[in-house]
Amino acid sequence: MFTLDSRLENDSVFVCDLTLCQVRLMNDKNYPWLILIPKVSEVREIFELPEPDQQQLMRESSQISQLLFDHFNADKMNVAALGNLVPQLHIHHIARFETDNAWPSPVWGVANALPYAKDELSALVQKLGALINP
């Protein structure tokens, strides 16, 4: 049974479900940032997924990357599965801009998370959900 790690649940907001993954928005207004979490229990690494799930993950990751890149007019996409602090397999998709406060470095440890206002968060989640599943 799929259970979401509490740290992912606390730091992000549910957007929608895809075939394999749950899509969540990181509650950090510094960067447009979605996370894909395969709805498979006890998986820490991509290679632990069965091959059809690996391929589905790549399709869903590409879909989310393209959506963020196009919708936010990003300069670059950062896509990473680090999992050093949260071992549950999850893949970060971060739209980056040459003008963002971390450029060109990774976003971790540069600025404190800037949470969205409640109405702003709700509107963005609704908009992203509609773009992902039109």
Domain limits, the chain:
6-132
Looking at residue 67, its pLDDT comes to 98
- Phi and psi at residue 15, to the nearest 5°: -110, -55
For the record, the structure tokens of 131 come out as 């773009």
pLDDT band at 109 (very low <50, low <70, confident <90, very high): confident
Across all residues in the chain, what is the average pLDDT? 96
- Phi and psi at residue 50, to the nearest 5°: -60, 150
Q: What is the largest CA-CA distance in the chain?
A: 41
Answer whether CATH 3.20.20.210 is correct for domain 6-132. no
For the record, the structure tokens of 92 come out as 């970060």
- Give the 3-state secondary structure of residue 114: coil
pLDDT band at 2 (very low <50, low <70, confident <90, very high): confident
H/E run at residue 80: strand 76-80
- Phi and psi at residue 35, to the nearest 5°: -125, 135
For the record, the structure tokens of 8 come out as 């992912």
Whether omega before 104 lies within 30 degrees of 0, making that bond cis, reads yes
Prediction pTM value:
0.96
